[in-house]
């Protein structure tokens, strides 16, 4: 009588399958391998496409910098020059307005300075409102050009409301809002914000 090995449990899984089932199992394994490979290829293609797009963007940026780099540097230099025009010393609006009024021979009334507004860290905007009554267009132009050409400061006409008291007169009533930008020290800005 033949001895049966205790460890041997009989035919293996593969041996118990019919030939048709073996073919189906092999086909299933083959399809799973193909699907896994296809998913890997798809993910690789997606990643490579993203890298290709990034490279194309970089090439375009390099072409732009080669083509327009010089003009960009000129614009940066012009911007720096404009930034240097912004003064760090406060502008005395009342003195400036009085000087311009003497030059243009006009009278200024209802002068009001608004509180400064911080537009960026270290940069504040101050506005000043006033009225000009019974002025000609030539006087108004002379007045505004005198104010806006102040050396060492950037002074802009921020608002201008012009009214004519009557249709037959050439005199105008004008409400003017001037604005100036000033650099402030960072220590002053943080002390003002904290206090």
**E strand or H helix at 14, and its extent?**
helix 13-16
Which pLDDT does position 195 carry in this prediction?
A: 42
Q: Residue 55 half-sphere exposure, CB side, CA atoms within 13 Å? A: 6
Give the span between the Cα atoms of 178 and 156, in whole angstroms.
6
Which pLDDT does position 47 carry in this prediction?
A: 94
CA 54, 56, 62, 67 dihedral sign is negative
Which pLDDT does position 189 carry in this prediction?
A: 45
Tokens linked to 149: 């050409």
Tokens linked to 130: 């006033």
Give the span between the Cα atoms of 141 and 133, in whole angstroms.
14
Q: What is the DSSP secondary structure assignment for residue 51, as one 8-state letter?
A: H
Q: What is the DSSP secondary structure assignment for residue 153, as one 8-state letter?
A: S
Percent of the chain with pLDDT over 90: 19
Instruction: Concatenate the DSSP letters of all residues of 145-159 into one string.
Output: HHHHT-TTS-EEEEE
Which pLDDT does position 69 carry in this prediction?
A: 74
Which pLDDT does position 151 carry in this prediction?
A: 76
Mean pLDDT by 10 residues, the chain (195 residues): 59 82 92 96 94 94 82 81 70 80 85 84 85 86 85 81 79 86 65 48
Q: Residue 41 half-sphere exposure, CB side, CA atoms within 13 Å? A: 6
Which pLDDT does position 87 carry in this prediction?
A: 67
Which pLDDT does position 186 carry in this prediction?
A: 62
Distances (CA, A) of 8 to 14, 15, 18, 93, 180: 15, 14, 21, 106, 97
Identify whether the C-beta of residue 112 lies closer than 8 Å to the C-beta of residue 129: yes
């Amino acid at each position: 009588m033949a001895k049966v090995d205790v460890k041997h449990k009989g035919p293996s899984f593969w041996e118990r399958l019919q030939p048709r089932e073996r073919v189906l199992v092999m086909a299933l394994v083959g399809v799973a391998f193909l699907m896994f490979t296809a998913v890997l290829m798809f993910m690789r293609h997606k990643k490579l496409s993203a890298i290709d797009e990034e490279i194309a963007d970089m090439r375009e940026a390099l072409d732009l910098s080669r083509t327009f780099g010089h003009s960009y540097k000129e614009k940066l230099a012009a911007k720096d020059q404009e930034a240097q025009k912004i003064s760090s010393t406060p502008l005395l609006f009342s003195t400036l307005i009085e000087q311009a009024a003497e030059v243009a021979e006009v009278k200024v009334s209802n002068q009001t300075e608004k509180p400064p507004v911080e537009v960026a860290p270290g940069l504040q905007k101050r506005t000043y409102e006033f009225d000009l009554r019974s002025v000609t267009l030539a006087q108004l132009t002379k007045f505004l050009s005198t104010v806006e050409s102040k050396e060492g400061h950037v002074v802009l006409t921020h608002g201008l409301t012009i009214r004519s008291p009557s249709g037959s007169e050439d005199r105008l009533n004008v409400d003017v809002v001037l604005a100036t930008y000033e650099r402030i020290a960072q220590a002053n800005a943080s002390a003002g914000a904290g206090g």
